Each structure stands twice: as structure tokens, then as C-alpha cells.
Structure 1
Amino acid sequence: MKSLVRPAVSNPVPSTRTPRSSDTNAQNTQPITSAQRRYDLDWLRIIAILILVFYHTGMIYVSWGFHIKSAEHSQPMEEVMRWLHRWRMPLLFFISGAGTFFALRRRSYGSYAGERVRRLFIPLVFGMFVIVPPQIYAEWLFRGRFSGSYGEFYPEVFNFQPYQDGGTGGAFSWHHLWFITYLFLYSLISIPVFRWLEGKSGQRFMDRISRLIARPGGALWLVGLLLLNDVALGGFFPNETHALVNDWAYFMKNLILFWLGYVLISRRDFWQTITDQRRYFLVATLVCTVILYSFRRFVSAETFDNSRLLITLFSFNGLGLTWFSVLTTIAYGYRYLNRNHRFLPHLNEAVYPFYILHQTVIILIGYYVLTQTNLGVYDGFLLISLSTLTICVFVYTLLIRPFKLTRALFGLKA
């Protein structure tokens, strides 16, 4: 299965609150209360989801596998997406972990678990039976596997045969909703970790984190957690599948990012320390970016495939790029985006149903563009992505936002 939160009061990726204040040590050491909000994380979540629309549209026009494919590919688009792939979803998992910290300041663990069921599990089940099947239907039509109506196709879902890459297998899948699946599981299995962090031993651990990140560029060293995961599990599960049962290296990588988001947002002095060191993170990100594209430019595919050392170095560099780019984004976001706007609550509410809808809309429009028009790569890309944005806005405004039932099905507060 392959490809992925409440307005000020209803985002299923828990909100992060803080007042804007001057950067003094006294304020940094004040306790974090439920009345605070980190507006920068809300803005970054919105930006990341919007980029995801263009990313998934781009999947139609690059050489990687996707549900529908153009015969024409764009190499420049693919090179940009190689970088985005290492940044976009890790950032969302980090932000989700940060939001979880604030959510648990306002509710018990039991009520938090219940909210996760309402905001994540219910939309996941709804999506697997309503939102995802049209994607599989369009793919089967595109690949010539099926030629009947949607009504004739839909009973295939209830055979509960798992979807396989390339449109093989059955019609039961979570597709891009894998993000919601993983986030739901992370939220529940992390409760014992969060309980431990509140205790004495957990706070001693946090003190060690504090001493580490206080060093110049110290937070960069936390990449070691991702490297250890890659060493331990990467050889057994080398590919991202988003299918859970055979995706443990990727599953644990994003769980670590989820935990890091929780930890690095849980003390106010961490916020300013990370922001003050943002240039270290930016330089590290640029270095990893240069290494990424140097591999692409100067190392042949044959040489790369035959060298375990190069494969390992490339993998480690990719993990460095992931962590360093997330740190850079969080640091610069807190510096420049931590401010409210009258549109922010509306955007923050809309972004979750927008995420749930977007890939289905992309594939349906993309199927029409690829089969009924002669548009080239960039014309098709713009038509599909901009049409998707427009349709998602209309569906949210007219069919989701006004009604209690649809709000509940899309994970919004009723």
C-alpha cells in the first residue's frame, strides 16, 4: 500500500500554543500551559500539506511508480522531488509529535486516546471504504484491468484482498492514508513513553537532552537515533512500503521523529536554543543537499549498486538531510512564522480533510488528463494540481464544513 491536522479548536494533529513574547531566559523557563499556541507549527503544517498536492501530482510525471503514469517524464521535477521526499513527511511527523505534547497538557491519557480514535481511526476507516476506492478504480481502468462502471467495481472492496503495487492484488487499501494509520498507532503506543518522560528518570533524560542541544549545533547529533535505526532495521526492511507489516525500518524512523517532536517542544528553553542555532542546521542541510546531488551527478548507477559502502553512505546522508532539514524548518519557522492571522484558524481546520481528499482528486483528474487530452508534462501538472486545489476547497466548503456528520467522518470537531 502506498501513498500523506483542527482549526484552533479542531485539528486532529494536536495544536501547539504559545503567546508571542520577548526572548528572555525568564520567559524561556516558564512552564508551558494549555493556553499557549505555536502558530509557526500550524503554518508549517499547512505549507507541508499544500506542497504534498504538488508532490503527488508530480508523481504522475516522474519515473517512480504511481497509480497512473504519464508516458512523458520530467527529470528536473524528479530531482526536486528527491529532496522533498526526505523532508515533507518527516516534518509532518515531527509536528504531530510536538502537537501531542500540547494536547496532553489539556487532557488525560484516556481522553487523548479516545480523541485519537475519533480524529484518526474513524476518518481512516471512512477513507478506506469511500475515499480510496475511486483511486483504485481509476488505476484499474488506466491499466486495462477493468472496464465496467464504478458500481460494478465497488463490491471488489469487500473482498478485503490487499492492494498491491502496480494495481495488482485486490481493491482494499489505505493508499495515502497510511500517514493517518501510522500516526494513530504512534499516538497510542507512545503513551507509556510520554508517561515515563513525566517521571524523575524521564526528566533526567530530558536534562541530558538539554545539555546536548545547548552545545553549538548540538541538536544535529540526534541524527544518531535515525542512523541506529537504519543500521538495526534497514538491512531487513530496505524499502518504504507504507503497508505496516513489512515497513518496520520506515515505521520506526517516523516514530523516532514523532518522539523527537514531542521532546524538543516540551521545554521552552529548547525552542529558543534551536532557533538561535538555526544557521548551524541550515549549513548542515546544504552540505547534505550537495552530497545528495553529487552522488546523482558523479556516481554511475552501476558503481553505486556494486558498492555497499556507497549505498550506506548515501543512506546515512539521506537521514542527515531529513533531520537537518526538519531542524532548519522548525528553527526558521519559530523565528519568522510564530504569529497569528485571521485566516489561520480556517486554514488549520481545512487542511486535514484537504489531506484526506487530495490524492483521490489528483488521480481522477489525472486519469482524465492522461486519457482525454494531449497536454504535455508541465501543462498537465499545472492543470491537475490547480484543479485539485480548487475542487478540494469547494468540497470542504460546501460538503464537509457545514455538516456534523461529514465533519465527524473527516476528523473535525463537530
Structure 2
Amino acid sequence: MNSNRHFYVDWLRVIAVFLLILYHTAIVFQPWGTMIGFITNEEKWTGLWLPMQMLNIWRIPLLFFVSGMGVCFSIQTKNWKEFITERTLRILLPFLFGYFVLVPFQSLIWLNIYKIPFVYLPNSGHLWFLGNLFVYVLLFSFPFIYLKNNFKSKLAITLKKILSNPISILLVMFCFVIEALIVKPFPFEMYATTLHGFVLGMLAFLFGFCFAYTGDNFFLMKWKWLTLFLAFGLYTSRILQNLNSAPNYLLAIESAFWIITILAFTNQYLNRSSNFLNYMNKAVYPIYMIHIIVLFAISKILLPLQMNVQLKFILLLLFTGFGSWLLYQFIIKRIKLIRPLFGLKQSSI
């Protein structure tokens, strides 16, 4: 197993959370935003959804892919008890805190804006991702530990042989397509608390672990321009044909191409450390957990103002990101008692 630090995985995690904030801010300006529990602006900006349609195909599977890679790197120095304990504190504890505290609080803001009587409704909200992730950890911890301890076993050698050559691109695509054909999600982009989100997330998580485990994925960089061309071609075809809901198998293929492409480009161009990355690598988890609360709070103040819708979107995006960072930097990061609730170690700053 390759023990070198893979900084591009950290960059992917940071970029994915930034894209998530962008995506959730965009929902505020869509006509259907209220239907999925978001506060929405009176004036809509439907054209903004054009680029979001591209992100929606791969952003969640990519997060699970990166999580699987992270688990592979984390497990190298731990036995199964240490691994389960660490993942419980890192994933389950923040999930439960979010389920019973953070998400009901953001619901309170939503209910207040729409003048609906408050009802305490614990739910996972946008933190459903953590619940799925913890289940995957429980399901696959022993196989992962076995692979870590038996790097020269037949299974490990077979995995390395398959995933260290271009056939793995077809394998990822094939599994994504089979899942789409069997589960038949509608829409494809509905990942939260669905069977589709669970199965596709599990596949991405497993592939992420296996790609990190084998380590020799440099062939991806050789094929990166082709996979980019194919991914963008499928996306462009959807837009030009005005396909609100393309066939699931095509969306699955496009998703796989985007993920492989992003892995290849970040591996080649972002596999390096920096002070910014070191800082953000710790900050993105708490920011991910609290950004909806900040988004809703800023929306309550900003949305009633009369201004250009594009300017309002930009301001909402900036204030949401900045506000989330402020809460992390000056409250979450500095209070030792609450740090574990946001996935941070209870250590000094």
C-alpha cells in the first residue's frame, strides 16, 4: 500500500465543500427550492441552474469516492478497534449532533421566515451523507483491515492488477450503469436518503478505497483529456437537446467520466501541500456542517432587499462562506468542548 501523502485528495475534499456551498446557494434562486426545504428568493434565476446540472451529476459520488480514499490512508496505522473508534468519533458523533441539534435549528429559521409554527423535527438534512458514510465504514471495516494486513494476498494482487490499468475506467462506468438500471432513480440527482444515493455512494466509496489501495493510477493522467472530452460531450448533448431528464444510464456514464477526469487532473496539478490546504483541511468539515444555518440566516436578512438577482446571489454566496468561516475560526475551533461535535480532535489550537 502506498504510504505517501496524497495531497490532491485533501484538495478534492476542500473543493467539494466549496462547490457544495455554491450549489446550495444556487437552490435559493430556483423556483422549486422551497419544495426541498430551502428559503427562496422572490425573483428567480433559472439560468444559474445550467452549470449546476453539470455539478449535480458527479458532486456527491465524488465526495464518497474521496471519502473511500481517505479511509484507505487513515486505516494504515490502525487496528480494527482503533479504526472503528476513530470513525465513530469522527463521523457518527457529528452526525448525531447535527441530526438532533443543527438541522432542527436551521429548520427553525425556515419555519420562522415562512411564519409556520415551530415543530421540533430531528432529521439528517444535508448531513445524510455522514449517516451513509458511517454505515459503509461498519460494512467494510473488516475487509479493509484484511486488505491492509495482506497486501500480498491473491485478492490484493488481483485488485492491483485490475485497478492499475485503463480497464478500471470501464469497471467504474459499468458498475454505475448497472446501479442506475436496477435502482431506476428519478431523478438521477436525488441522492439524499434514497436507495440510489446509498448504493451509488457505496460503489463510489469502495472504488475510492480500492484506487487508493492499489496506488498505481498514473494511467488516469494519460487518459484525462479523453475522459474530459467525453464527459463534457455528454453534458453538452444534454443541454443542447434540452433534456431535463436524460436516460439514467447516460447520466451514470457521464458521472463516471467526470469523476475519473477530476481525479486525474487534481492528481497531476494539485498533488502538493500549502499552508492554505493545511488550514482548510481541518476547517471544511465544520464548515460543511454549519453552512446551511449560515445560508438561511443570511437569506433572512439579504433576500428581502431590492437588488439585482445576480448581485444578490454573489453576496449570499460570499456572506455564507465568510460567515461559516467566522463561526469555525472564532467559536468551533477555539472551544475544546464542542470541537468533537464538529469532527475535530479535542486538542489545543
TM-score (norm 1): 0.77
Q: CA deviation at 1:81?
A: 0.8
Q: Deviations over 1:53-102 (max 9, x none)?
A: 11111101013334212222212211111111112222111111011111
Structure 1 counterpart of 2:138, one-letter code: L
Separation (CA, whole Å) in 2 of partners of 1:77 and 1:185: 34
1:280 maps to which of 219, 222, 226: 226
Contact 1:63 1:78 in 2 (8 A): no
- Whole-angstrom CA distance in 1 between matches of 2:24 and 2:188: 22
Alpha-carbon shift at residue 240 of structure 1 (Å): 2.5
Would the aligned equivalents of 2:173 and 2:253 in 1 still touch at CA under 8 Å?
yes
Q: What are the ranges of 5 or more consecutive residues in structure 1 without an aligned counterpart?
A: 1-30, 147-152, 158-170, 302-310
C-alpha distance in 2 between matches for 1:284 and 1:356: 34
1:203 to 143, 151, 156: 156
Q: What does residue 76 of structure 2 align with?
A: 105
Coordinate RMSD, CA, aligned: 2.2
Aligned-residue offset at 1:331? 0.3
**Aligned AA for 2:156?**
Q
**Aligned residue number for residue 45 of structure 1:** 13
Alignment of 1:322-361 (within 5 A): 322-361=255-294
Match of 1:131 in 2: 102
How far residue 239 of structure 1 moved from its aligned partner, in angstroms, is: 7.4
Question: 1:72 touches 1:376 (CA, 8 Å); kept in 2?
Answer: no
1:241 deviates by: 5.8
State the alpha-carbon separation in 2 of the partners of residues 89 and 104 from structure 1. Answer: 23
Shift of the 39–377 alpha-carbon distance from structure 1 to 2, 3 Å rule, reads same
TM-score normalized with structure 2 length: 0.90
Q: Evaluate the alpha carbon distance shift between residue 317 and residue 118 of structure 1 in structure 2; reply closer, same or farther with a 3 A threshold.
A: same
For residue 32 of structure 1, what is the aligned residue in structure 2? Answer: 2
> Which residue does 1:182 correspond to in 2?
132
Is it true that 1:87 corresponds to 2:58 in the alignment? yes
What's the offset of the Cα at 1:397?
Answer: 1.2
Q: Equivalences for 1:229-378 in 2 at 5 Å?
A: 229-234=179-184, 240=190, 242-243=192-193, 247-270=194-217, 272-296=218-242, 314-370=247-303, 372-378=304-310
CA distance in 2 between counterparts of 1:62 and 1:236 reads 19
Tell me: CA distance 1:74–1:342, structure 2 relative to 1, closer, same or farther (3 Å).
Answer: same
Question: SS where residue 322 of structure 2 aligns?
Answer: helix
Give 1:273 deviation, angstroms: 1.6
Q: What is the CA distance between 1:205 and its match in structure 2?
A: 3.7
Tell me if structure 2 keeps the 8 A contact 1:220–1:324: no
Residues 1:322 and 1:262: Cα distance change in structure 2 (over 3 Å): same
Q: Return the offset for 1:141.
A: 2.4
| Max Rg structure | 1
Question: CA offset at residue 40 of structure 1?
Answer: 1.0
Deviations 1:305-351 (A, max 9, x none): xxxxxx6x621121112111111111010110011112221111111
1:58 alignment partner in structure 2: 26
Compare 100-109 and 192-201 and name the one that shifted more: 192-201
* Farther off after superposition, 98-107 or 188-197: 188-197
CA distance in 2, matches of 1:120, 1:189: 14
- What count of residue pairs does the alignment treat as equivalent? 340
Q: Which residue of 2 aligns with 1:398?
A: 330
**1:316–1:63: structure 2 CA closer, same or farther, 3 Å change rule?**
farther
Distance, in Å, in 1 between the alignment partners of 2:124 and 2:161 is: 39
Instruction: Check the 8 A contact 1:132/1:173 in 2, yes or no.
Output: yes
Give the CA deviation at 1:375.
3.0
Q: CA deviation at 1:262?
A: 0.8
Identity %: 27
State the secondary structure of the residue aligned to 1:242.
coil
Q: CA deviation at 1:142?
A: 2.9
CA 1:254–1:408: 2 relative to 1, 3 Å: same
Q: Residue 116 in 1 paired to residue 87 in 2?
A: yes
The answer as to whether partners of 1:292 and 1:318 remain within 8 angstroms in 2 is: no
Distance in 2, matches of 1:237 and 1:51, equals 20
Correspondence for 1:145: 116
Q: CA deviation at 1:204?
A: 4.8
8 A contact 1:349–1:412 mirrored in 2:
yes
